Amino acid sequence: MVIQESDLSNIERLRWQCRRGMLELDVLLEAFLEQHYGDLPPRLKRLFVQLLEFPDPVIHAWCVGGEPPEDEEFLQLISTIRQTKVA
Amino acid sequence: MALEKQRFDTLILGAGGAGLNAALQLANANLKVAVVSKVFPTRSHTVAAQGGVNAALANVLPDNWHWHMFDTVKGSDYLGDQDAIEYMCREAIPTVYELEHNGVPFSRLPNGKIYQRAFGGQSQNFGGEQAARTCAAADRTGHAILHTLYQQNIRAKTHFYDEYFAVDLIRDDEGYVLGALVLNIATGEPLLIESKTTLLATGGCGQVFRTTSNAHINTGDGMAMVLRAGLPLMDMEFFQFHPTGIAGKGMLITEGVRGEGGYLINKNGERFMEKYAPNAKDLASRDVVARSIITEVREGSGVGPEADHVLLKVNHLGEDVIAKRLPGIRESSKIFAGVDPVKEPIPVFPTAHYVMGGIPTDRFGRVMPSADDDGDHLPGLYAAGECACASVHGANRLGGNSLLDILVFGRLAGHNIIDYVKENSAHRSLDEASVEQAMSRLQKWDAKGDGITVSQLRNEFRKTMEDHAGVFRVEEMMVEGVEKVRQIRERLSQVRLTDHSSTFNTNRTEALELENLIDVGLSIAVSALHRKESRGAHSRPDYPNRDDKAWMKHTLYWMENDRLDYKGVRSQPLTVESFPPKERVY
Ligand SMILES: Cc1cc2nc3c(=O)[nH]c(=O)nc-3n(C[C@H](O)[C@H](O)[C@H](O)COP(=O)(O)OP(=O)(O)OC[C@H]3O[C@@H](n4cnc5c(N)ncnc54)[C@H](O)[C@@H]3O)c2cc1C
Q: Using N-to-C axis directions, what is the helix angle for B506-530 and B454-469, rounded to 10°?
A: 20
| Cα gap B444→B431, rounded to integer Å | 20
> What pLDDT sits at residue B375?
76
Per-residue b/e over B290-318, b at no fewer than 16 CB within 10 Å? bbbbbbbbeeebbbeeeebbbbbbbbebe
Kindly report whether the global pTM for this prediction surpasses the value 0.90: yes
Chains A and B form CB pairs within 8 A to the count of 97
Cβ atoms of residues A55 and B41 within 8 Å:
no
Q: How confident is the model at residue B585 (pLDDT cuts 50, 70, 90)?
A: low
Nearest to B335 among A13, A22, A28 (CB): A28
pLDDT given for residue B34 in this prediction: 98
Which ranges of chain A does DSSP label H, i.e. alpha helix? 5-9, 11-17, 23-35, 42-51, 56-63, 72-82
Q: Please give the pLDDT value at position B1.
A: 66
The pLDDT of residue B211 is above 70: yes
Distance from CA of A54 to the nearest CA of B (A): 10
| Spatial CA neighbour of B455 closest among B463, B444, B465, B447 | B463
| pLDDT tier, B114 (very low <50, low <70, confident <90, very high otherwise) | very high
pLDDT in the model for residue A65: 87
**Distance (Å) of CA B584 to CA B76, B77, B219, B501, B581:** 11, 8, 32, 55, 9
**pLDDT value of position B140:** 93
**Gap from CA of B43 to ligand 1 centroid (Å):** 10
User: Average pLDDT, stretch B98-121?
Assistant: 94
Identity of the residue in B47, B214, B250 whose CB atom sits nearest the CB atom of A57: B47
Task: Give Cβ neighbours of residue B535 (< 8 Å, ≥ 6 apart).
Answer: B77, B79, B395, B546, B551
Q: Name which of B219, B506, B507 to mutate to probe chain A: the one with the most chain A Cβ atoms within 10 A of its Cβ.
A: B506
Residues of B in contact with A66 (CB under 8 A): 327-328, 330-331
Secondary structure class of B359 (helix, strand, coil): strand
Q: Which domains does chain B have, with CATH numbers?
A: 247-349 (3.90.700.10), 437-560 (1.20.58.100)
How many CB atoms within 10 Å of residue B389?
Answer: 27
Q: Which residues of chain A have pLDDT under 70?
A: 87
Residue B486: pLDDT band (50, 70, 90) is very high
* Nearest chain B CA: its distance from A13 CA (Å): 5
Tell me if A2 is assigned to some domain.
Answer: no
The amino acid sitting at B272 is F
Helix-then-strand count for chain B, H and E: 16, 19
Contact B317, B260 (CB under 8 A): yes
Residue ranges of alpha helices (H) inside B59-184 are: 65-75, 82-102, 141-155
Burial of B217 (0-12, 13-18, 19+ CB in 10 A): buried
* Bridge partner residues of B241 (DSSP): B352
Q: Is the pLDDT of residue B145 over 80?
A: yes
Residue B338 phi, psi dihedral angles, 5° rounding: 70, 20
What pLDDT is recorded for position A8? 85
Distance in Å, alpha carbon of A38 to nearest chain B alpha carbon: 18
pLDDT of res. B536: 93
User: Atom 3 (ligand 1): residue with closest C-alpha?
Assistant: B49
Interface with chain B: mutation pick from A23, A52, A82, highest number of B CBs within 10 Å = A23
Residue B362, helix vs strand vs coil? coil
Say yes or no: CB of residue B510 within 6 Å of ligand 1: no
| Structural domain span for residue A34 | 8-82
Q: Which residues contact B41 (CB under 8 A, 6 or more apart)?
A: B15, B20, B35, B146, B150, B160, B162
Q: Which of B133, B210, B286, B411 is catalytic?
A: B286
Burial class (CB in 10 A: 0-12, 13-18, 19+), B494: exposed
Residues of B in contact with A56 (CB under 8 A): 42-43, 47-48, 143
Task: State percent of chain B over pLDDT 90.
Answer: 91
Q: Give the side-chain half-sphere CA count within 13 A for B550.
A: 10
- Kindly report the nearest CA distance between residue A57 and chain B, in angstroms: 7
**pLDDT band for position B21 (cuts 50, 70, 90):** very high
Q: Do A87 and B39 touch (CB under 8 A)?
A: no
Question: What pLDDT is stored for residue B576 in this prediction?
Answer: 98
ipTM of this predicted complex?
0.96
Q: Residue B503 and residue A13: Cβ atoms within 8 Å? A: yes
- CB nearest A86 (choices: B336, B501, B503): B336
Residue B381 in 3-state DSSP?
A: strand
Is the CB–ligand 1 distance for residue B223 below 6 Å?
Answer: no
According to DSSP H, which parts of B348-424 are helical?
401-423
Mutation pick from A7, A18, A22 vs chain B, by most beta carbons of B within 10 Å, is: A22
CB B151 within 8 A of CB B42: no
Of A23, A28, A57, Cβ closest to residue B215: A23
DSSP, collapsed to helix, strand or coil, labels residue B399 as coil
Residue B280: per-residue pLDDT: 87
Element (H, E) at B389: strand B388-389
- Rounded to whole angstroms, how far apart are CA atoms B271 and B497? 47
pLDDT of residue B299: 95
Residue B109: how many CB atoms within 10 A of its CB?
11
Q: Which of residues 17-76 of A touch B (CB under 8 A)?
A: 19-28, 55-57, 63-66
Report the pLDDT value the prediction gives residue A61, as an integer from 0 to 100: 95
Contact B407, B145 (CB under 8 A): yes
Residue B212 pLDDT? 98
Round the average pLDDT of chain B to a whole number and report it: 95
| Contact predicate B395/B535, CB 8 Å | yes
Ligand 1 site, residue B400, Cβ cutoff 6 A: yes
DSSP for B302-325, written as a single string: -BTTTT-BEEEE-GGG-HHHHHHH
Q: Is B508 noted as a catalytic residue in this protein?
A: no
Report pLDDT digits (tens) over B154-191.
999 999 999 999 999 999 999 899 999 999 999 999 99
| pLDDT of res. A85 | 87
Contact B217 A28 (CB under 8 A): no
pLDDT at B586 over 70: no
3-state secondary structure of B61: coil
**Which of B150, B216, B253 is most worth mutating to test chain A (most A CB atoms within 10 A of its CB)?**
B216
Residue B560: closest CA among B519, B514, B530, B511: B519
Cα separation, B171 vs B161, in Å, equals: 21
Do B291 and B472 touch, CB atoms closer than 8 A?
A: yes
Nearest to A86 among B335, B339, B505 (CB): B335
Residue among B241, B351, B402, B517 to mutate when testing ligand 1 (max atoms within 8 A of CB): B402
Residue A59: which CATH number?
Answer: 1.10.150.250
Residue B287 predicted with pLDDT over 90: no
Q: How far is B53 from chain A (nearest CA, A)?
A: 18
Domain count, chain A: 1
pLDDT at A7: 86
DSSP for B153-176 reads HHHTTPEEEETEEEEEEEE-TTS-
Q: Give pLDDT, residue B288.
A: 86
Residues from B in contact with A at Cβ < 8 Å: 38-39, 42-48, 140, 142-143, 147, 163, 185-186, 212-217, 249-251, 327-328, 330-332, 335-339, 501, 503-506, 509
Rounded Cα–Cα distance for residues B218 and B114 (Å): 31
**Pick from A12, A26, A64: CB nearest B505:** A12
DSSP code of B206? G
Residue A43 lies inside a defined structural domain of this protein: yes
Higher confidence at residue B79 or residue B260?
Answer: B79
One-letter amino acid for residue B111 of the chain: N
Among B561, B435, B441, B439, residue whose Cα is nearest residue B492:
B441
**Band of pLDDT at residue B139, cut at 50, 70 and 90:** confident
**Cβ contact, residue pair B335, A16, below 8 Å:** no
DSSP string, B252-289: B--THHHHTT-EEE-TT---THHHH-TTTGGGS-HHHH
Spatial separation of the C-alpha atoms in residues B539 and B291, rounded to whole Å: 9
Q: What does the pLDDT read at residue B476? A: 96
Interface touch A26/B48, C-beta < 8 Å: no
Secondary structure (3-state) at B44: coil
Report chain B residues whose CB lies below 8 A from the CB of A31.
none
Mutate to test the pocket of ligand 1, among B185, B403, B409, B520 (most ligand atoms within 8 A of CB): B403
**Separation of CA A45 from chain center:** 9
Instruction: Calculate mean pLDDT across residues B192-207.
Output: 98
Residue nearest to atom 37 of ligand 1 (CA): B202
Check whether B195 has a pLDDT greater than 80.
Answer: yes
User: CA gyration radius for chain B?
Assistant: 23
On whether the CB atoms of residues B162 and B169 are closer than 8 A, the answer is: no
Q: Say if the Cβ atoms of A56 and B43 lie within 8 Å.
A: yes
Q: Is residue A21 part of a domain?
A: yes
- B354 touches B387 (CB < 8 A): no
Residue B364: pLDDT over 70: yes
- CB within 8 Å: A12 and B504: yes
